[in-house]
Amino acid sequence: MNRIWTTSLTLTLGLALTFFSGCSSTKPAEPDPIQQELLTQLKSLGGEISKLQATQDELLEMRQNLTQMDSQLVIYQNTLAEKEQDSKAKDSEILELRGNIDILSSEIQSLRVVVDTLRMAKDSLDIRLQRLTEEILPKLEQESVATQVDEQADSAQVAEKSEQATPEEPKSMESAVAPTEPVKPIQPTLTAREYRRQYNAALNKYFQRDYASAIKLFNELINLWPDGTYADNCQYWIGECYYSLENYQQAIEEFSKVSAFPENNKADHALFKIGMCYLQIGNKAEAETLFRQVMKQYPESDMIPRVKEYFAGKKM
């Protein structure tokens, strides 16, 4: 279901809701049960349209993000191929590139799972929206005709009664106005959709090499939702930002925080990158200690081949 169709349906829905709300205000007596049911269904349809539009927007952003990450992966792979052909290339440079490829591939795989979930949600919303539309539109047309007939009859009755009506005493303002309680301010909350979208926005900043903005966005997410699904990922990418800035000491501090989060599927990657930080500053003994720790604590990690490669001293 395309965006033009849903926009058109939204406009039609808005007009229908306005029309029937206006009609109900002219009938202070017993509400028409058919009309009330139709209004309920129309509001439900409006909610489905809003969900669908929000899901379509997020799906588009996710796909754009994947495209950017795929492009970065190709850059890493091409750079690695060049380094492997360069006899002067350092083992640590090749190890870093291969590690980056593995880590980015893992991030892409996780993102593809989210995209697939969103796509299935969108398909489900499409079906539900189509069913609601097919059920409501015929009723809407019939009720519109019936309402116009009722309005004509009501207008005739109102005109007849107005001729016989006697003036009433005006009510005082004090009795007419009901006391109101002070409105409490609503605290803004971050929805799951907004959380994912900000995480992807932060990732985009990282891959655009706008590390300062990425750090800011990742920190905001951690502060807003410290136990969120991506909290450990946010902390991990803060470490990557400082690593890319060659501030290895700060990167070590940031990577070290990853394991403290309840969900830490990035803990193995963080530990590997701490080892890489120590390699960059020339402390091979500490790097090797950390690489052994990766093998011991995370035997199933996708960093294991990189760690073994380091100890084997190979460039393959």
Span 202-212, pLDDT tens digits: 999 999 999 99
* CA separation for the pair 132, 127 (Å, rounded): 9
Same domain, yes or no, for 214 and 281?
yes
Domain boundary among 155, 183, 207: 155
Domain boundary among 125, 155, 185: 155
Span 140-160, pLDDT tens digits: 566 555 555 555 555 656 556
Domain boundary among 131, 155, 179: 155
pLDDT at res. 186? 42
Average pLDDT over residues 64-84: 88
What six digits make up the tokens of 195? 């959380």
Domain count, the chain: 2
Same domain, yes or no, for 7 and 147?
yes
Q: How far is CA 102 from CA 105, 133, 299, in A?
A: 5, 46, 15
Same domain, yes or no, for 149 and 201?
no
pLDDT at res. 185? 44
Asked if 289 and 259 touch (Cβ cutoff 8 Å), the reply is no
Q: Is residue 226 part of a domain?
A: yes
DSSP helix/strand/coil, 258:
helix
What six digits make up the tokens of 12? 């039609």
pLDDT at res. 38? 59
pLDDT at 27 over 60: no
Same domain, yes or no, for 147 and 242?
no
pLDDT at res. 211? 96
pLDDT at 126 over 60: yes
Identify the CATH number of the domain in which residue 36 sits: 1.10.287
Residue 271 confidence class, pLDDT cut points 50, 70, 90: very high
Identify the CATH number of the domain in which residue 244 sits: 1.25.40.10
pLDDT at 84 over 80: yes
Q: Is residue 283 part of a domain?
A: yes
Same domain, yes or no, for 245 and 111?
no
Same domain, yes or no, for 8 and 133?
yes
Other C-beta atoms closer than 10 Å to the C-beta of 280 total 16
| Distance from the first to the final alpha carbon of the chain | 48
Closest of 114, 126, 7 to residue 59, by C-alpha: 114
* CA separation for the pair 254, 257 (Å, rounded): 5
* CA separation for the pair 262, 265 (Å, rounded): 9
Asked if 45 and 133 touch (Cβ cutoff 8 Å), the reply is yes
* Ramachandran quadrant class, 61 (left: phi over 0; alpha: psi -120 to 50; beta: rest): alpha
Same domain, yes or no, for 57 and 105?
yes
How would you class 259 by CB atoms within 10 Å of its CB: exposed for 0-12, middle for 13-18, buried for 19 or more? middle
Same domain, yes or no, for 43 and 138?
yes
pLDDT top residue among 94 and 141:
94
Asked if 309 and 95 touch (Cβ cutoff 8 Å), the reply is yes
Span 217-252, pLDDT tens digits: 999 999 999 988 899 999 999 999 999 999 999 999
Instruction: Give residue for tokens 């800011």.
Output: 216
Give the residue ranges of DSSP H helices in the chain. Answer: 3-25, 33-85, 91-164, 173-176, 192-207, 211-224, 231-244, 248-256, 267-280, 284-297, 304-312
pLDDT at res. 146? 55
Range of the domain at 218: 193-312
pLDDT at 12 over 60: no
Span 29-43, pLDDT tens digits: 555 665 566 566 566
Same domain, yes or no, for 197 and 118?
no
pTM of the model: 0.65
Sign of CA dihedral 118, 120, 124, 129: positive
Same domain, yes or no, for 232 and 117?
no
Q: Is residue 162 part of a domain?
A: no
Helix (H), strand (E) at residue 32: none
pLDDT at res. 193? 83
Same domain, yes or no, for 101 and 233?
no
Other C-beta atoms closer than 10 Å to the C-beta of 233 total 25
